[in-house]
């Protein structure tokens, strides 16, 4: 066992003392006493937070706390700056970016858990890291404690990536899991997620898919060298999913519904999107419940043993929470301390940036699930079929289940319908191969029909031939 005198002492500057920042303090101050492995002794020299007096460790270590980030970044004893601020407003992101840039200018490497800052200002930040010869590590930005960034950039460095996809938002996965298991309406499942700490008071970032999009942009950058901005890819959230959709997917389609982030190469373009998908139950990811994340990787060289699977590797673990995220942050810190600072500067990518392009959104194609709620009268399915047919899209199947009065009443209530529940008709159609352009054109026609009571809910069917 190495003695304290043989350990390398490394000074850390911590920006943020929220859930993740406090978990880092717990590990260093309490659990490990700063000692990691047999070679390192980590010392938090300064901590930036806006309200230090209310923080857990302030009473015992008040001298470490600062109310100006510059005091932390500029401290000569700080070698590595850890940024775990977590934004509450978009206007904060440029400020957090400036903190990272200042650290590079001062000759310090940065470890961050802030995916929104990297997704928005990644090009500028990586360019600065390269300019000043400093490291930017961001394992904790995607998948919480799952080591996906390190796996892609190091373990799979010799691979030719074909796809990276999976469940990257624990809030969405928890809500969908509860809706399927208990038949709860979306609003009730969301409230439960908030009560258990899986969802924020304002859950918009999670349920709209923007959190998953930010993570996907980072995965796309590392796997395929894409440098995309938030809002430039197709994104659907889970707000419109209803418990009835699980009935149709499960009882008729032998499937479930999961929220996926997908980057999939097709020739020289990469299909990038975030959306719910109808997923066959035999797929491994169908069994990922609760707030767990699971990320799949598919590589050309590893594909020989794939057979019927849609990926070669699956990394599963807690996707959020102070503990797992803090572990990922400190893993990056240890890598830097043990000589990783010279390994790369700038964006680590398996594909040279600029080699591939993102597929135009309207050209994304696949089979689709569409759920309608209409006035119960004859001729509706035929009209919908003709509309899609005129655009060259064929209907694969029509699903209609018997619904109890209670189920129809709950559906009408959640959709805020004034109609008598006995007069509404839910049903599902599945489509053969179609593009997003065809889907949108057809739905623009259909949603204006007088029989449509609720905007149709639609999303891809995963793995459909």
Active site residues: 215
CA distances from 180 to 187, 238, 311, 373, 410 (A): 13, 13, 25, 20, 15
For the chain, report the end-to-end CA distance as a whole number of angstroms: 57
Identify whether the C-beta of residue 426 lies closer than 8 Å to the C-beta of residue 329: no
Sequence-ordered list of residues with C-beta below 8 angstroms from that of 224, at least 6 positions apart, any chain = 161, 263, 265, 270, 349, 350, 351, 356
Phi, psi of 12 (to 5 degrees): -115, 140
- Half-sphere exposure (Cβ direction) of 31: Cα atoms closer than 13 Å: 12
**What's the DSSP call for residue 452?**
B
CA distance 40 to 115: 27
Look up residue 207 and give its two tokens: 């349920």
CA gap 319, 221 in Å, rounded: 20
User: Which residues, including other chains, have CB under 8 Å from residue 340's CB and lie 6 or more apart?
Assistant: 135, 137
Residue 292: closest CA among 211, 174, 124: 174
Give 263's strand partners: 164, 272
Kindly state the helix (H) or strand (E) to which residue 27 belongs, with its residue range.
none
Write down how long the chain is. Answer: 465
d(CA 228, CA 334): 29
Strand partners, 399: 428
Token pair recorded at residue 181:
């298991």
What is the residue-wise DSSP string for 375-392? ES-TTHHHHHHHHHHHTT
């Amino acid at each position: 066992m190495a003695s304290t005198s043989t350990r390398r002492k490394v000074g850390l500057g911590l920006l943020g003392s929220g859930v993740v920042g406090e978990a880092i303090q717990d590990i260093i101050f309490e659990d490990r006493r700063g000692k990691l492995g047999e070679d390192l002794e980590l010392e938090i020299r300064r901590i930036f937070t806006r309200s230090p007096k209310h923080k857990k460790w302030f009473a015992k270590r008040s001298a470490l706390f600062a109310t100006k980030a510059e005091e932390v970044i500029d401290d000569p004893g700080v070698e590595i700056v850890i940024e775990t601020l977590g934004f509450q407003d978009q206007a904060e992101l440029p400020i957090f970016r400036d903190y990272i840039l200042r650290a590079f200018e001062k000759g310090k490497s940065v470890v961050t858990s802030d995916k929104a800052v990297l997704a928005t200002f990644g090009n500028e930040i990586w360019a600065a890291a390269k300019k000043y010869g400093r490291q930017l590590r961001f394992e904790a930005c995607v998948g919480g404690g799952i080591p996906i960034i390190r796996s892609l950039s190091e373990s799979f460095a010799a691979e030719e990536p074909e796809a990276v996809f999976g469940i990257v938002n624990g809030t969405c996965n928890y809500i969908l899991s509860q809706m399927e298991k208990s038949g709860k309406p979306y609003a009730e499942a969301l409230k439960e997620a908030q009560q258990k700490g899986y969802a924020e008071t304002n859950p918009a970032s999670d349920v709209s898919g923007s959190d998953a999009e930010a993570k996907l942009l980072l995965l796309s950058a590392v796997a395929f060298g894409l440098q995309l901005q938030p809002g430039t890819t197709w994104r659907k959230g889970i707000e419109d999913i209803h418990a009835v959709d699980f009935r149709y997917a499960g009882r008729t389609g032998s499937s479930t519904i999961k929220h996926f982030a997908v980057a999939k190469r097709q020739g020289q373009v990469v299909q990038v999107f975030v959306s719910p998908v109808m997923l066959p139950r035999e797929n491994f990811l169908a069994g990922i419940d609760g707030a767990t994340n699971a990320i799949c990787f598919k590589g050309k060289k590893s594909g020989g043993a794939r057979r019927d699977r849609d990926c070669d590797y699956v990394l599963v673990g807690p996707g959020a929470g102070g503990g797992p995220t803090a572990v990922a942050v400190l893993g990056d810190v240890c890598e830097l301390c043990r000589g990783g600072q010279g390994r790369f500067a700038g964006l680590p990518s398996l594909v040279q940036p600029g080699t591939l392009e993102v597929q135009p959104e309207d050209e994304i194609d696949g089979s689709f699930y569409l759920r309608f709620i209409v006035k119960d009268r004859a001729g509706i399915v035929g009209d919908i079929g003709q509309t899609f047919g005129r655009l060259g899209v064929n209907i694969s199947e029509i699903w209609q289940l018997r619904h109890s009065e209670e189920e129809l009443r709950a559906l009408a209530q959640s959709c805020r319908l004034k109609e008598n529940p006995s007069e509404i008709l839910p049903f599902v159609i599945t489509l053969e191969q179609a593009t997003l352009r065809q889907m949108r054109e057809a739905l623009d026609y259909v949603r204006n029909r007088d029989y449509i009571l609720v905007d149709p809910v639609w999303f891809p069917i995963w793995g459909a031939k």
